[in-house]
Structure 1
Amino acid sequence: MLNKDIYAVVDLETTRTTSESGRIIQIAIAFVQNNKIINQFSTLINPHESIPRNVVQLTGIDSEMVMGAPAFEDVAESIHTMLSGTIFVAHNVNFDLPFLNAEFQRVGMPALDVIAIDTVTLSQIVWPTAPGFRLVDLTSYLSLTHGRPHQADSDALATGTLLVEIFTRLEKLPMVTLQSLADLPLVLPQNTKIVFEKALFKAKTLREPLPKQLQVIDGLAIRRFSNPEPLVSKSNMAYPAKRAAKQQLYGKKLVYREQQAKLMNAINKHYTSDSLSENPGESAFIAEAPTGMGKTIGFLLPFAYLANQTQKKVIVTEPTITLQTQVTETVNSTLHDILPFEVRAVSLKGRRQYLNLQSFKRSLQIDEGTTSLQFIKAQILVWLTETVRGDFDELHLMNAQDKFIAKLSQNANNPTGSPFYGYEFFERQYVLAENAQFLIVNHNYLAEYANELGTSQNKPYLVIDEAQNLPGAVLNQSRHQLPIQTWLARVQTAINLILQDAKPAIGDILRHIIGGEQLKNRLLRSLETLSAEIPQIQVSLYRRFLLNKKAPATQSSYEIALSNNDFAQFWVDQANHVKSIHKAVFNLEDSLQSLLTQFSDAKGVFSLGERQQLADFRRLLDNISQYEKQLTTFQQDLVDFPDASIFWITETQSHDSSNLKLSGGLLHTLNYFEEQVYPHFMSPTIIGATLFTSTKSGYLYDRLNLDKETATVRHYPDIFDFKNQADLIMVKNAPLPTSKDFSNYLARQLVDITTSVNQNTLVLFNSLDTIQQVYTQIQSNQKFQRSSLTLLAQGITGTRDKIKKRMQSEDGLVVLGAASFWEGIDLPGDQLRLLVIARLPFDRPNTVLQKAEEAVISSEGKHPFYQSTLPKAVLRLRQGIGRLIRTPTDYGAVIIYDARILTKSYGKTLRKMLPSNLPQKELKDSEIVQELKDFFDTHHKYL
């Protein structure tokens, strides 16, 4: 970074990943000085051993290419001389430098004694929002030339260019940010932290003014935020109903699609008619729009015109935050570029999604003793100079702990007295929302804030995208738990914090404020009351509901459903204990508020450690209060949703003790949307790729409280040519998924199939336990070990998002995924060619929830299997198969190993709801490999 420094950017290609067993086959060096690449060196190395096949596949370097190359000992002295006196740089320096030094020492030369820095960790800090940090990811993200990834000469040159970009980025950071980075107790590979110190020294020398887009608040440099300009509506803009009008509007930005245009026109016609009912759930517009049709633009464009003409807002709700972000970007980029009037979208999220500046500022003064947390703070320091919204979803944090992120998003003590008051990110979204037509939320947000999103004066439009997921989101949002033993443990921890002598302590704080001793006694009295009353609730629950219903000795966990009448009577009987708990928590909250007020008034008295101790104590008491609120929620649900709620107790046995957890919430959404959601909006638009479970089923209408008679329904045909693009194989001789040997059988089948076709494969399961069994079997299979395939498993080798990212960029992957892989995964082209469904996606039977739902349906004179179990499975199967074909040029095969789709009467219903032109073949397992080989060998005829 300083002009005299020479950086030697090194990349190695090796036969193996360890220096003990591996040898270098290529070394390249790019020399950087004064932010320019001034020289390059590269040579192949003859390792005098065979190069493994996977290395040849990765690098393109084979044994023949290195046959005439020098041995390492022939070039070692020259390389050592070139690198001595430089600053050693590598993308993963803890691999390249030790490996190279091991090679030097192997040929009798000394290890390099140089300063060394790592571009991986530097990139993670200076570009915290980058989608990935492999060299290929970063060069793509930064639009840098990288012609031959995984060949050392190309990688070294790309890393050298990346290093220059890192230096350039650091030079643009304000001095206050560089100072904070230098002050953080960062533990980075080798000497990497020296880069921040050099950047700070240079900044102090140059003394550049603070960029206009930034401002410094209490030592943090953040992006300035200005209120958006008011939207200028043009209500005279006519909707482009005709094909020619749409094509003129699109220009070269969009391609005209006939089915998409029909969807647009149908929505516009529906909401410009005079026949819309104002009764909740009536006059809905329902559209099943298949993947590839362009449904997002299909509903956004007509609603943009409707919003412009009527001055109504449009609420769009999506099942995931990822889709929420994508739809927001579509409005603000695609629609913005083509519409003749201004259009804006804002994504609304809950408070925990946003960084709290005061909490973050406080965290900078604390060393939690965890290197990963300090690293995250460094990323956030840089991110603050870029972000306008402060939304954690913008970041790609490494090893982020949920508790730590929650701490950074929580309101800090005394916000009105904070220098950050008025600058917090959470409030900015509402300022932006005031001047936007589209408010994009997720299903959980809609379930929680429907009454705030809607207005009685000018009801907004409501678009429920992928609506089949909304009932599940509502049920999950409504359900809550009270782990009684955990609640009691929190209370005891709070008591111990008040009484402990270790410093910093709450007791020290109380001694230094006015009335502190009295506050201490009030806090202890409230906590001791809770400590006495909570066990009374637990004992009463046990005696009333569990005493004569012990779990079998072989089970460590036991569930029992509670009769709503018995549960209601329980709260009547426990009224005195509950009243005492409520009073104790009220006093606890009042005492805490007094403490915070006194603490705020005593400015400058307390140390940083004491401030952090109080913040932690406050979080603990808030947690205790939240558990107490669950008692009220259980009772309120009995009043508000007496017929739709379910409650149950889970008893867990461990070490001769019994822990009880009380759970409850909505069992179904009967009348929920009609009463809680639809009254706040215009008649809803219900849209999705897989809405219906059969041609006659009323499942969708029942679950979403929609009036079938007044609804406008549109089914749009499949866009893809499944006859030529896909192949569905149903295995007719597979053992039942419930059989003891099924996991072993499936593992053997997967090995045979994946090693034969060598395509990216996704295997869908219903159980993480089964994934574990199959994963273990495949990993130990010698045939699979000899292949070049990589096995990934949800919950074992990574999360869904991490595995998905690898599928998007790597070949030869076999992925075992459970619930979250059945939908919301977009893997076109080579990212996914083979989809395997281990068993039909029926809900797990005999759970409390399943039994209760079946009882409700049976009480209505209906059959639970056909009214609930089968429709859910149909939707899930359609969604799962929908993961395969994502574009008009895509192709791939599906295998279903559950023979019940062929042998059971309901199998016909499942098969009938799959794409009509999808070839369905019944084969024996011995015929599958040849069928797949034929399919993949001939797919090019379609292309």
Structure 2
Amino acid sequence: MKTTYAVVDLETTGTNPKEDRIFQFGCVLIQEGEIVGRFATDINPDRPISKQIQHLTQVDNRKVKHAPYFEDVAETIYQLLSDTVFVAHNIHFDYRFLSAELMRCGLPELTLNGIDTVELAQIFLPTEVSFRLGDLAESLAFTHDMPHQADSDAEVTAKLFLTIEEKMRQLPLITMEKITECARHLSMQTNLFIESIYREMRESLRPLPDHLQVVEQLALVKPEYRLYESPSYTRTYPSSKEEKAQWFKEQLGYRKSQQLLMDQVFAHFSAQTSDKNCFIEAETGSGKTVGYLFPSSFLATAKNPLIISTASILLQHQLLQRDILQLNQISPYPLQAVVVKSHKHYLDLERFQKTLGKQTEMKQYALFQMMILVWLTQTTTGDLDELNLLRLDHLFFTQVTHLGVDFISSQSAFYNWDFLRRLYAKMHQSNLIIVNHAFLAHESKRDQPILPKSPYLLIDEAHHLPAALERVATVAFNSQQLNQVVQGLKESKWPQQNDPQVALFFRLLDQLDETSLQLSEYFYELKPVQTVEWIVEDATRDSLPIVVERTIQRVQQTFRDMLTLIAQFEEVLLQEMPEYAGEKAELFAQVKQQQQAFQHFFYTNGLSHLRRIVYTKHIRNMYFETIDLNATDITTKSFYARYQRIAYLGATLTTQDRPNYLPEQLGLATPVLRLPTEFDYAKQARLFTVVARPTSDPTQRLIEQLRTLFQHYSESILVLFTSHEQLQAVYQALHFEFLQAGREILAQGIGGSRQKLLKRFSQSNQSILFGADSFWEGVDLPGNQLHLLVVTKLPFENPKRPLVQAKYAYLESLGKNAFQAEALPKAVMKLRQGFGRLIRSTSDKGMMVVLDSRLLTASYGADFIRSLPRELPAVNGTIQEAVVAIEDFFATNQEKNASESKNLL
């Protein structure tokens, strides 16, 4: 008998079946891999559809007013679904809600088998960024004309179901066998569906695809070893504009500032200048990346590779997947690039295989196992970031991430397949190695550096480097993390479990766990609960109560005793249990790190070292941090000496009054070269500063100002905040009001990750996005998606924060004016970064509205204005005058564009 799959989607007035009702039902019937029928109907829910759901579904009360009631169609739906397998995207909601509605109408509850396409997608489409139906439809290029309407959603879910089934059948049999073994915890009967496909595959065996090989019951992609080929002829860099233009032709845009950047980078790396360091400021949209990649391609070889450090993992992949591909279209000497991260980003095949032999009751653990099994048939890198997971702190990943090449046994069946070994082999066959600033900063902490020596190091987004150096130099003692290490050591296998030394070690573990918690409790009592962070000064440390001092000494002594035993255990483990040596080494390393962090906090003095306690809701979560304020001096880092020439690039390295701000932060005296702009700011942009009287309630005034702007400007708006608390308050005050008017406000911290928010923002032409922190920069929206930028407040750090106060006090102790040396230039640079979101090409048009009168009234306001483009027209007035200025500016540009288009015709 043929199995019929009924792919169902409901639209409801809410999530509670006792109170809410269905107003749309959609169903697509599938047999033997083909769609054989469809049924969809509107339903009168006999209650209003909320404005929020109307906005989401584009279905209003008028549309369903004359539709049948659910009682009228209940029998039809029940008969339609009889003898089918129920399929839905997030099945628990649709199945339970529909069953409750059928029972309300006197029909039996549903007893159908069910399949969840969310879980199927998570397993068989493991690298998708999002598993929301709309996002999957876009990624898989499905037509989805009416998202959040039942007939369209059911159609797309059916296509998704068929696509996944086809992908399942294309997998190696061994992979499907392992997935079937892990699938018992899946929702409803999803596991039975997987098992049925596996049985069919077993009866009709396919040969293993040529690009795969089975190793120890894991189907893996065969490694490709591409040797670097150095050109046999002399590389001649094109010095003139005409020569460069011949290479660029029409494939990439060519700009004057880009030519200057190319020549400067080539001159510096080819030792035509005397200084080791070179700082270049090139504004956003100037073609900076190609501007440094092109000249580098004439110099970099596998023996002397170009090392690029950028601000984030996201930018690493952007370089590899977009910019280098573009460059290699035009460069006569292609760049053979590799992204390198710390070992914890990579899967350890040996450790992963061991998890498959364990029975787990954790559904999420099993989901990760199945996801990895499919991903192993696709990945050539083993880089877990390909899975696009927000976090890797689940127990599963602590058990499968790589421990480092030192812990790979040459006797392992996976030795030649190991991802990290393959990465390092590829690194030595590449002329371009891409890392991020954190990885580069950690080079100074590694016993053996991972990156090779080279004449060329280029630091992109260089203004982020000081913060990265400080973060890496910051060490933290945390009793919760220590407790996790303790539990891990106690639960792992030991040689000679009854050995007195092991018993002693376990006692020390318990003692360390107990005393570290006591220490957290003591400090928790020393400071009010309301405190978020506390800077512990030397005088406070030296005058602690005797009971606290004795606890500190006990913790210190326990650490010493443990480290003595660890040294003995490491030797024994390597000899008697080499297969567990790596796992133990990772835990032992964490004990050593915690000991060093403890030592730094309680036994290190000095003006440049800040002790900070960060409080959280649970005492075990208290962090005892030591921050080195001299950590930003790059000349003290061991990696600094390994590179003959270093170039630092970015869009905001200076302020008008501090032209060497970034070099000074890094302990250097090299001047910054600022490349000229190619944008016509006089025509392309405006700055409007809103003038308002002082108020006792600035948040309420901000709400009224934004309400006025939103009511009169209907296109997309990016609103930048300096305070998360104020962002939340404004969102709560305005989001429902504008949602009822059919306009959505997206907000950082509400409704998804930064990437998801930006994606949703870019897909609408009238969304409003509230952002703080990271949204001030790195928001790459084309000019047609963002015209209006609103700055709620000049972006100074909060001077009331204890850490900020302590840093300022340190600068004052050095004889510096903390406001002029630190607070003002950082705020000025951040405003420049915010403005950089607007104009990113010669065709962009944009206005920045600043709702902070201090830009005009404060003595330092001129510093901000001077650091913005000189040609930028600046206007000020009331919020009502701002609305008029916005309308006039964009209306003028629209008329001009229309006139230009007419002339072209």
Contact 2:175 2:374 survives alignment (8 Å): yes
Please give the per-residue CA displacement for 1:466-509, whole angstroms capped at 9, x wherever unaligned. 111111110111111224x5587579868xx86xxxxxx67xx6
Task: State yes or no: 1:380 paired with 2:375.
Answer: no
Task: State yes or no: 1:299 paired with 2:292.
Answer: yes
Aligned length: 888
Question: Which of the residues 181, 199, 202 maps onto 2:200?
Answer: 202
- Consecutive unaligned residues of structure 1, counting only runs of 5 or more, are 499-504, 604-610
Q: Which residue of structure 1 lines up, in the alignment, with residue 902 of structure 2?
A: none
Question: Partners of 1:290 and 1:327 in 2: how far apart?
Answer: 18
Question: Which of the residues 662, 678, 684 maps onto 2:646?
Answer: 684
Question: Which of the residues 402, 425, 428 maps onto 1:434?
Answer: 428
Task: State yes or no: 1:647 paired with 2:601.
Answer: no
Q: Which residue of structure 2 lines up, in the alignment, with residue 517 of structure 1?
A: 499
Q: 1:889 to 1:373 in 2, by over 3 A?
A: farther
Question: Partners of 1:862 and 1:533 in 2: how far apart?
Answer: 41
Q: Which residue of structure 2 lines up, in the alignment, with residue 629 of structure 1?
A: 596
Q: 1:888 to 1:140 in 2, by over 3 A?
A: farther
Contact 1:480 1:665 survives alignment (8 Å): yes
Question: What secondary structure sits across from 1:9 in the alignment?
Answer: strand
- Consecutive unaligned residues of structure 2, counting only runs of 5 or more, are 898-905
Q: Which residue of structure 2 lines up, in the alignment, with residue 135 of structure 1?
A: 133
Task: State yes or no: 1:326 paired with 2:303.
Answer: no
Contact 2:281 2:653 survives alignment (8 Å): yes
Q: Which residue of structure 1 lines up, in the alignment, with residue 415 of structure 2?
A: 421
Q: Which residue of structure 1 lines up, in the alignment, with residue 388 of structure 2?
A: 396
Task: State yes or no: 1:468 paired with 2:428.
Answer: no
Task: State yes or no: 1:908 paired with 2:862.
Answer: yes
Question: Partners of 1:332 and 1:879 in 2: how far apart?
Answer: 25
Q: Which amino acid is the alignment partner of residue 190 of structure 2? A: T
Q: CA deviation at 1:885?
A: 3.9
Task: State yes or no: 1:191 paired with 2:189.
Answer: yes
Q: Which residue of structure 2 lines up, in the alignment, with residue 93 of structure 1?
A: 91
* More divergent stretch after superposition (53-62 vs 216-225): 53-62
Q: 1:129 to 1:205 in 2, by over 3 A?
A: same
Question: Partners of 1:304 and 1:99 in 2: how far apart?
Answer: 60
Question: Partners of 1:488 and 1:713 in 2: how far apart?
Answer: 47
Q: Which residue of structure 1 lines up, in the alignment, with residue 700 of structure 2?
A: 744
For residues 334-733 of structure 1, what are the structure 2 equivalents within 5 Å? 334-366=326-358, 369-397=361-389, 401-402=393-394, 404-411=396-403, 415-416=408-409, 418-449=412-443, 452=449, 459-483=454-478, 514=496, 516-524=498-506, 526-527=508-509, 555=531, 558-562=534-538, 580=557, 583-593=560-570, 596-597=573-574, 600=577, 621-631=588-598, 645-650=608-613, 662-669=624-631, 671-673=633-635, 676-694=638-656, 697-708=659-670, 713-719=673-679, 721-733=680-692
Q: 1:43 to 1:616 in 2, by over 3 A?
A: same
Please give the per-residue CA displacement for 1:909-930, whole angstroms capped at 9, x wherever unaligned. 1012123343433222454455
Contact 1:126 1:379 survives alignment (8 Å): yes
Q: CA deviation at 1:8?
A: 2.9
Contact 2:653 2:661 survives alignment (8 Å): no
Question: What secondary structure sits across from 1:684 in the alignment?
Answer: strand
Question: What secondary structure sits across from 1:452 in the alignment?
Answer: coil
Q: Which amino acid is the alignment partner of residue 765 of structure 1? A: F
* More divergent stretch after superposition (186-195 vs 835-844): 186-195
Q: CA deviation at 1:215?
A: 2.4
Q: CA deviation at 1:712?
A: 7.0
* More divergent stretch after superposition (237-246 vs 62-71): 62-71
Q: CA deviation at 1:864?
A: 2.2
Q: Which residue of structure 1 lines up, in the alignment, with residue 903 of structure 2?
A: none
Q: Which residue of structure 2 lines up, in the alignment, with residue 502 of structure 1?
A: none
* More divergent stretch after superposition (862-871 vs 239-248): 239-248
Q: Which amino acid is the alignment partner of residue 202 of structure 1? A: E
Question: What secondary structure sits across from 1:129 in the alignment?
Answer: coil
Question: Which of the residues 737, 741, 761 maps onto 1:807?
Answer: 761
Question: What secondary structure sits across from 2:876 in the alignment?
Answer: strand
Question: Partners of 1:755 and 1:365 in 2: how far apart?
Answer: 60
When the two structures are superposed, what TM-score results if normalisation uses the length of structure 1? 0.83
Q: 1:531 to 1:853 in 2, by over 3 A?
A: closer
Q: CA deviation at 1:328?
A: 1.6
Q: CA deviation at 1:394?
A: 0.8
User: What's the Cα RMSD here?
Assistant: 4.3
Question: Partners of 2:583 and 2:307 in 1: how far apart?
Answer: 37
Task: State yes or no: 1:37 paired with 2:19.
Answer: no
Contact 2:534 2:802 survives alignment (8 Å): no
Q: 1:492 to 1:53 in 2, by over 3 A?
A: closer
Question: Partners of 1:554 and 1:74 in 2: how far apart?
Answer: 58
Contact 2:298 2:333 survives alignment (8 Å): no
Q: CA deviation at 1:727?
A: 4.1
Q: CA deviation at 1:840?
A: 1.6
Q: Which amino acid is the alignment partner of residue 374 of structure 2? A: V
Question: What secondary structure sits across from 2:499 in the alignment?
Answer: helix
Question: Partners of 2:96 and 2:726 in 1: how far apart?
Answer: 40
Question: What secondary structure sits across from 2:127 in the alignment?
Answer: coil
Question: What secondary structure sits across from 2:798 in the alignment?
Answer: coil
Q: Which amino acid is the alignment partner of residue 742 of structure 2? A: S
Question: Partners of 2:218 and 2:754 in 1: how far apart?
Answer: 34
For residues 80-229 of structure 1, what are the structure 2 equivalents within 5 Å? 80-105=78-103, 107-229=105-227
Contact 1:672 1:705 survives alignment (8 Å): yes
Q: Which amino acid is the alignment partner of residue 623 of structure 1? A: Q
Question: What secondary structure sits across from 1:285 in the alignment?
Answer: strand
Q: CA deviation at 1:676?
A: 3.7
Q: CA deviation at 1:429?
A: 1.7
* More divergent stretch after superposition (131-140 vs 523-532): 523-532
Question: Partners of 2:676 and 2:540 in 1: how far apart?
Answer: 44
For residues 912-927 of structure 1, what are the structure 2 equivalents within 5 Å? 912-927=866-881
Q: Which amino acid is the alignment partner of residue 449 of structure 2? A: E
Q: CA deviation at 1:875?
A: 0.8
Contact 2:485 2:590 survives alignment (8 Å): no
Contact 2:687 2:873 survives alignment (8 Å): yes
Q: Which residue of structure 2 lines up, in the alignment, with residue 607 of structure 1?
A: none
Contact 1:360 1:408 survives alignment (8 Å): yes
Please give the per-residue CA displacement for 1:662-721, whole angstroms capped at 9, x wherever unaligned. 43232135643365443221322221111111155331221133333xx572423053x5
Q: Which residue of structure 2 lines up, in the alignment, with residue 289 of structure 1?
A: 282
Question: Which of the residues 858, 870, 886 maps onto 2:824?
Answer: 870
Question: What secondary structure sits across from 2:833 in the alignment?
Answer: helix
Q: CA deviation at 1:179?
A: 1.7
Question: What secondary structure sits across from 2:827 in the alignment?
Answer: helix
Contact 2:739 2:745 survives alignment (8 Å): no
Q: Which residue of structure 2 lines up, in the alignment, with residue 608 of structure 1?
A: none
Q: Which amino acid is the alignment partner of residue 263 of structure 1? A: L
Q: 1:762 to 1:186 in 2, by over 3 A?
A: farther
Q: CA deviation at 1:267?
A: 2.4
Q: CA deviation at 1:300?
A: 0.8
Q: 1:849 to 1:67 in 2, by over 3 A?
A: closer
Q: CA deviation at 1:101?
A: 4.2
Q: CA deviation at 1:554?
A: 6.9
Q: CA deviation at 1:335?
A: 2.3
Please give the per-residue CA displacement for 1:75-106, whole angstroms capped at 9, x wherever unaligned. 55544444322333233333444444455455
Q: CA deviation at 1:731?
A: 2.2
When the two structures are superposed, what TM-score results if normalisation uses the length of structure 2? 0.86
Please give the per-residue CA displacement for 1:20-72, whole angstroms capped at 9, x wherever unaligned. 56555554443333323344444555667766655555555556666776665
Question: What secondary structure sits across from 1:336 in the alignment?
Answer: helix
Q: Which amino acid is the alignment partner of residue 692 of structure 2? A: N
Percent identity of paired positions between Structure 1 and Structure 2: 33
